[in-house]
Chains A and B, each alone.
Chain A
Amino acid sequence: MSDLLSTPAEFPVRRRGVLRAVLATARGRITAGFLVLLFACCLLAPVIAPADPLHQNLREILQTPSGAHWLGTDNLGRDVLSRLLYGGRSSIVAMLEGVAAQVAVAVPLGVAAGYLGGRFDRIVMRLADIVMSVPVIVILLAILAIFDHSIAVAMITLGVLGASGMMRIIRGTAMTIRQELYVSAAELLGLSRTQIIFRHILPRCRGVIIVQTSLFAALAIGIQTGLTFLGLGPPPPAATWGGMVNEAATTLSTAPWLLVPSGGLIALTVLALGVLGDTVRDVTAQSHTSSGGLRVKSAKRRPDAAQVSVPEGTALLSVRDLSVSFLTPRGEVEVLSGVSFDLDAGQTLGLVGESGSGKSVTARAVLALLEANGAVTGGSVIFDGRDLTRATRKELAALRGTRIALISQEPMAALDPSFRIGSQLSEIVRSHTDLSREAAHRRVLELMEMVELPDPEEMAKRYPFQISGGMAQRVAIAAALAGSPDLLIADEPTTALDVTVQADVLALLRRLQRETGMAVLLVTHDWGVVADSCTHVAVMYAGQVVEQAPVEQVFGAPAHPYTAALMASSPEKAPRRTPIDAIAGAVPPPGTRPDGCRFRDRCALSAADCAETDIPLVRLNEERVSRCIRTELLQVQP
């Protein structure tokens, strides 16, 4: 189940074309502008060139730039600017020939191999392997010798030989897209393979094709100038960029300037193509990263949040008015607004809510483990009398693992696949204590026995990929217990597990809590898990706690319309094959939450005054609060 940490990337985004996205960046504008200008000038050379590129004037040789010759003259007195423009035409044509040949070979073969797979794919890939092992330069020299210095033939050969690299990349992309479910759906709806390739596979490969083409164009320019530098292209006096570098090299000691225009332009062109390719890659990949390097100013750096809140009561963990914002490309978005709850030693508090409620962000904020683009913007997290939102990195590091531990939905992600389980646990044990190697190993076996892993000695020798998801979660719990924490934060610990395994893991957590007396903050979306394991529950909706109470009271009679509605949406609550009491609409994403009561748009009890002010948490009894001003309509037992 996707949770709030990923929501900033899921905001409705208008799809933009690759070109417009590239031009929206400064790099993209500069490089694309430079290349367009260069190509236009070269193509228009006969019109705009100030002089005939072949016109010699031996009285004005090797001049530096002047009004008559903007870029000076060469050793035969020819105008360098004009020669560059005319020479550029052959370079550009050569580049286009190479690129066209490459694209013509690589795109159809790559897409077909990736989509069709099977024997066709194997044959194409073996051929690509063979082509890749061919020495390109040797072949090009041979081709030039056979075809009488025809750069065109050489560049087409280069394109064909160079296609294997691009083809592999396109094949990989096409293979990934083939796995997407919409391709399967299209097949089932009777579309032919050709239709699927043209409508669904190719458009998604566009970004990769543009990047590869751009990089290959840079390479082609380099090769073409190299060949003409060696005199393998059109014979003198025809203007070529490589030839001009060659001529400049002969007079390098007497006229060093001459190398600057030709060499500089080649370098700039190659650089521009390379940067353009990188820019395209960045913009096509950007949609997959949520933070994008953005940072929110945290409360620590905000002057208005300077006053230190006084811890009240004796709760082990006391979260007060916690607010968290994430900075997204569309501005700063408040994800948590004034979240408050208490958790005592020995209790299990279930933090319940749907995606977008902020339950996982709350759990992360308690540990100060927010993603880079998120920060606490207000409130406090008082753990054992200390405010964690103000703690330094060092203080937090000392707390994590020893006093507060975390287990997450993805236990495998917490384990390094290249080390044995025993050695990973041992490392954690030794980082918390100063036990010797043997003592740490004994402690590891003890921990593994505690989490009911069968045959600990043998299990310690296994690698993470050799165990099941349920076993991995037990190992993660063992790691969390290594520091004998006072507070265990369990973020959807059983969501990825099968029900039979989930029941085992929940039973284990219950037993461990009984034995150690630790407090557990259990983040979950499943009321059944709450009923099974929690003593208290805090229901979250749209970044706020809407109700907190002991489980008996909440299951007995919900004191917030959202709690009641969410419980009623379970299929357990309706007779078989009859409509479930579903809540209309969806949780509003951060940034689009209504004023006043955030649930009022979907609430059956809402009235005009629900929209007027922000609804405070109302205390209903000693242990129970609700963020609703109409609780009397819900018939809550006091």
Chain B
Amino acid sequence: MKAATTAGEAAELTVSDLVVDYPIGWRRHRRAVDGVSLSVPAGRAVGLVGESGSGKSSLAKAVLGMAPLSAGRIAYGTTVLNDLRGAARPQDIQVVFQDPYSSLDPTKTIGYTLQEPLRAHSARTGRSLSRAEREESVRAMLAKVGLPAETAGRYPSQFSGGQRQRISIARALILQPRLLICDEAVSALDLSIQAQILNLLLELQAELGLSLLFITHDLSVVNHIAEDLVVLFRGRVMETGSAELVYRQPQHPYTRQLVMSAPTQDLEAQRARRERREALALPPARPAPLGEACPFAHRCAFAVERCRNERPLLRDAPLGGQVACHRADELPPWSEEHTQPREASGSPA
């Protein structure tokens, strides 16, 4: 099996009608991803946002060939990834995981960890790299992620979480992939370290022309780094569109609730969000709907009978983008005057 795409030319990742089921016990399963379609065009940053149980990590695993696919199609350019495993997969897609601690083998030096993919790659392609060449690429990659060359001789236990995340990024990029999947890659980091890593990712994306699939539960992070947003809830796409539109003008009641619930570090804006949320008088928690219903119907302030009987399909939304809501046209208009005054004025402090 040879990869249809070679390093250097980017392609679009397309996921169509993906279904992922995990077996639980005898002949039963839990549906983690329920008919999701999305695409990551070459060179673009797409954010996938959702809470726990939304299926965002299962979707990442499916793209990486680490989850069972029940239905659907995942393709990178012209290569269908559905049944490719291990070394048969194109190395154009790489990942940075959330946990900087379990991401690195504690018994191996950083240099070994970074050289290993190069060795495996040259063994596969028959193009052998000398030791000096490998060490040179490791040094160059460490410099690119902002670490000194001495890093190569050390063990993971000598590095902090932020440094380890830099090393994980270096490992993901060493085979010059075209698409980088970040699965909650900054969620375990402190605010100041998170800012450093986000800056690094943006810088690398611009420099290397990477596509990014950025998966997170943190709306402010994804809104910062992504150009397009996909909002997932219980395995289904609720809303998609440009990040600007989805964050500023959410057209799905769930997206609106997400935005209202995320506390912002601005007293006035946060008070407004809190009051808006309280004024909404959310319905008391009811059992989640099963089968052919809107998965959000039980927590939605706008739900009507139709929402409980008919599953809404993703369709073009009034203001652009796509939304899976029967009542998208009837929702009250959304405005949030006090959010992000600094962005309006242009320059951060």
| B230 interface contact, C-beta 8 A | no
**B-binding segment of A250-258, A401-409, A526-534:** A526-534
Choose among A181, A499, A564, A586 the residue that contacts B193 (Cβ–Cβ < 8 A): A586
| B128 interface contact, C-beta 8 A | no
Contact with B along A544-556 (1 / 0, CB 8 A): 0000000110010
Residue of A nearest to B174 (CB): A189
Contact A580 B220 (CB under 8 A): no
Contact status of A188 and B93, CB under 8 A, knowing A12-B158, A581-B195? yes
Contact with A along B247-262 (1 / 0, CB 8 A): 0000000000110111
Contact status of A575 and B343, CB under 8 A, knowing A2-B161, A188-B94, A354-B192? yes
Contact status of A527 and B265, CB under 8 A, knowing A181-B103, A189-B117? yes
Main secondary structure of the interface of A (DSSP, over half): helix
Contact with A along B82-110 (1 / 0, CB 8 A): 00001101010111010100111111100
| A301 interface contact, C-beta 8 A | no
Contact B243 A576 (CB under 8 A): yes
| B274 interface contact, C-beta 8 A | yes
**A-binding segment of B5-13, B20-28, B129-137, B277-285:** B277-285
CB-contacts of A165-220 with B (<8 A): 179-182, 184-193, 195, 199-200, 203-204
Contact B270 A568 (CB under 8 A): no
Contact A502 B120 (CB under 8 A): no
A190–B52 alpha-carbon span in the complex (Å)? 30
Contact B263 A506 (CB under 8 A): yes
Contacts of B284 in A (CB 8 A): 454
Instruction: Tell me how far the C-beta of B181 lies from the nearest C-beta in chain A, rounded to whole angstroms.
Output: 9
Contact status of A500 and B267, CB under 8 A, knowing A12-B158, A569-B195, A574-B348? no
Contact B342 A573 (CB under 8 A): yes
A289–B137 alpha-carbon span in the complex (Å)? 37
Contact B117 A503 (CB under 8 A): no
Contact A572 B66 (CB under 8 A): no
Contacts of A579 in B (CB 8 A): 199, 202-203
A564–B120 alpha-carbon span in the complex (Å)? 47
Contact A200 B267 (CB under 8 A): no
Instruction: Tell me how far the C-beta of A474 lies from the nearest C-beta in chain B, rounded to whole angstroms.
Output: 11
| B121 interface contact, C-beta 8 A | yes
Contact status of A1 and B86, CB under 8 A, knowing A499-B258, A586-B162? no
Contacts of B147 in A (CB 8 A): none
Instruction: Tell me how far the C-beta of A16 lies from the nearest C-beta in chain B, rounded to whole angstroms.
Output: 11
Contacts of A203 in B (CB 8 A): 105, 107-108
| B221 interface contact, C-beta 8 A | yes
Band of interface residues on B: 35 or more
Choose among A184, A507, A582 the residue that contacts B192 (Cβ–Cβ < 8 A): A582
Contact with A along B45-77 (1 / 0, CB 8 A): 100000110000000000011100000000000
Contact status of A355 and B195, CB under 8 A, knowing A185-B95, A190-B87, A530-B265? no
| B198 interface contact, C-beta 8 A | yes
Residue of A nearest to B266 (CB): A531
Contacts of A185 in B (CB 8 A): 95, 97, 103, 168, 171-172
Contact B202 A577 (CB under 8 A): yes
Contacts of A10 in B (CB 8 A): 160
Q: How many A-B residue pairs have CB under 8 A?
A: 225
Choose among A500, A568, A572, A584 the residue that contacts B51 (Cβ–Cβ < 8 A): A500
Main secondary structure of the interface of B (DSSP, over half): helix
CB-contacts of A208-234 with B (<8 A): none
Residue of B nearest to A556 (CB): B267
| B236 interface contact, C-beta 8 A | no
Residue of A nearest to B53 (CB): A498
Residue of B nearest to A571 (CB): B224
Choose among B91, B220, B257, B349 the residue that contacts A190 (Cβ–Cβ < 8 A): B91
| B211 interface contact, C-beta 8 A | no
Contacts of B188 in A (CB 8 A): 1-2
| B317 interface contact, C-beta 8 A | no
Contact B198 A580 (CB under 8 A): yes
Contact A188 B95 (CB under 8 A): yes
Residue of B nearest to A193 (CB): B86
A299–B107 alpha-carbon span in the complex (Å)? 40
Contact status of A571 and B198, CB under 8 A, knowing A184-B97, A354-B190, A577-B225? yes
| B346 interface contact, C-beta 8 A | yes
CB-contacts of B108-130 with A (<8 A): 108, 113, 116-117, 120-121, 124
Residue of A nearest to B113 (CB): A182
Contact B349 A581 (CB under 8 A): yes
Contact B263 A507 (CB under 8 A): no
Instruction: Tell me how far the C-beta of A511 lies from the nearest C-beta in chain B, rounded to whole angstroms.
Output: 10
Contact status of A577 and B227, CB under 8 A, knowing A555-B265, A569-B191, A582-B192? yes
CB-contacts of B144-159 with A (<8 A): 155, 157-159
Contact A15 B243 (CB under 8 A): no
Contacts of A501 in B (CB 8 A): 51
CB-contacts of A567-622 with B (<8 A): 567-584, 586-587
| A566 interface contact, C-beta 8 A | yes
CB-contacts of A493-517 with B (<8 A): 498-503, 506-507
Contact B86 A189 (CB under 8 A): no
Contact status of A192 and B172, CB under 8 A, knowing A180-B102, A531-B270, A572-B220? no
A564–B277 alpha-carbon span in the complex (Å)? 29
Contact B117 A191 (CB under 8 A): yes
A576–B223 alpha-carbon span in the complex (Å)? 7
Contacts of A192 in B (CB 8 A): 86-87, 120
Choose among B86, B99, B260 the residue that contacts A503 (Cβ–Cβ < 8 A): B260
Contacts of B340 in A (CB 8 A): 572
What would be 27 A-B contacts, judged by CB atoms less than 8 Å apart? Answer: A13-B157, A15-B157, A181-B99, A182-B105, A184-B66, A185-B171, A188-B94, A189-B120, A190-B86, A190-B117, A191-B87, A191-B120, A192-B87, A204-B106, A354-B190, A355-B161, A527-B265, A555-B266, A569-B192, A570-B195, A572-B264, A577-B224, A579-B202, A581-B195, A581-B348, A583-B192, A586-B163
Interchain residue pairs A-B with the least CB separation, the first 4 = A528-B263, A527-B265, A571-B224, A582-B195
Given known contacts A569-B191, A574-B224, what 15 new A-B pairs fall within 8 Å (CB)? A2-B188, A12-B158, A182-B102, A182-B105, A184-B97, A186-B117, A191-B116, A498-B217, A502-B263, A503-B274, A577-B202, A577-B224, A580-B224, A581-B195, A586-B162
